[in-house]
Amino acid sequence: MVKIYQLDAYGGVPAFAERESPQPQAGEVLIRIAACGLNFADLLTIEGTYQDRPTPPVVLGKEFSGTVEVAGQGTTLRPGTRVAVYAGQGGLAEVACIPEARCLPIPDAMPFDVAAGFQVAYGTSHVALDRAALKPGETLLVLGAAGGVGLTAVEVGRAMGATVIACARGADRLDAARAAGAHHLVDTDTQDIRDAVIALGRADVVYDPVGGDQFRSAFRAVNPGARMLAIGFASGDVPQIPANHLMVKNVSVIGVNWGAYLTFDPDTLTDSLRTLVRWYEDGRLTPHIGHRLPFDRTPEALQLLRDRKAVGKIVVEIG
């Protein structure tokens, strides 16, 4: 028997359970899970509002890391291979059977806790900023810059040669953004985003996992021809954008759903993640894990995510 953390019905309360250990089918590998990274999308899954809605029961945890323990027929990964996995579910468990195509071999120098929270956060930022055609010398405004994806946007934007303005609440969060490479800091507790960004010369690209009033303020502080990236709506407020305002300022709004690329363009994710792993090995990326909690404290880890109190990623250590 293996331990899992499962949601039996959308809108319910997930709980620990046990089930028989699965066996890999053809094309699958059995992963002994070491760590699982949490994402805001996990909360939406619990509520039943996430765009992907597998039929319950659902084992929570969209991305994780571990070691191949059993290789199914037709697979090339060998037992003992260290991998990071984005599967959309199944990470909050001791083991999982996963299609080999979802497994990314990771270098020995990458710890499991780092790998567990690496793919979604860094992958989202890299794919998004590539879609925005961020150029060296442009100004990137990152909202929610101390969160799991926000910090990676600061790092990736800096690595791509941009001048980075980081917005976050409070000195501790801004310190984390500065350490990640931000050139300018805006405290959203005490400063007006629009006024602060205009004073710094306006923004060419906006990376927004927050939505709501912050999106609206940032929109008023961009240069003509700016690109605004809609990454998520952690504020709970999905902004409505008057099309005439887009037209007048020649502004583009680009939606980015990283996980959806698996269904229509998986090669984009594969190429992006290979680049990011190289950057990690070269020392260009320094993942920030704000909290590491053991498996039996998973409810507490999810509450930290819900309260938006964490700086960087929250990782549940399983094995």
pTM for this structure? 0.88
Instruction: Specify burial of residue 293 (Cβ count, 10 A radius: 0-12, 13-18, 19+).
Output: middle
Per-residue model confidence (pLDDT) at position 30:
97
pLDDT attached to residue 138: 98
Q: What is the pLDDT of residues 230-265, one digit of tens each?
A: 999 988 899 998 999 899 999 999 999 998 898 899
Q: Provide the 8-state DSSP code for 210.
A: S
Please write the tens of the pLDDT for every residue from 74-94: 999 999 999 999 999 999 999
Q: Residue for token digits 């309360």?
A: 13
Task: Please report the pLDDT score of residue 308 as a whole number.
Answer: 80
Cβ-based neighbours of 180, under 8 Å, separated by 6 or more: 145, 151, 154, 155, 158, 166, 286, 288
The pLDDT value given to residue 319: 83
pLDDT at res. 52 = 83
> Residue 297 pLDDT more than 90?
yes
Give the rounded percent of residues in the chain with a pLDDT score beyond 90.
Answer: 87
Collapse the DSSP code of 79 into the 3-class scheme (helix H, G, I; strand E, B; otherwise coil) and give the result: coil
169-215 pLDDT tens trace = 999 899 999 999 999 999 999 999 999 999 999 999 999 999 999 99
What was the pLDDT predicted at 195?
97
Q: Does the structural domain 121-259 have CATH classification 3.40.50.720?
A: yes
The full set of domain ranges for the chain reads: 2-118+288-317, 121-259
Which of 126, 116, 85 lies closest to 262, judged by CA? 85
- Mean pLDDT in residue range 26-50: 95
Q: Residue 21: phi, psi to the nearest 5?
A: -65, 130
Q: Cα-Cα-Cα-Cα dihedral of 192, 195, 198, 204, to 10°?
A: 30
- Here the tokens at position 84 are 């990071």
- For the 2-118+288-317 domain, the top CATH level (class) is alpha beta
**What confidence tens digit (pLDDT) does each residue in 111-143 have?**
999 999 999 999 999 999 999 999 999 999 999
Whether 2-118+288-317 shares its CATH topology with 121-259 is answered no
Task: Judge residue 294's burial from the number of C-beta atoms within 10 Å of its C-beta, 0-12 exposed, 13-18 middle, 19 or more buried.
Answer: exposed
Residues in the chain: 319
pLDDT of residue 104: 92
Residue with tokens 């001048």: 163
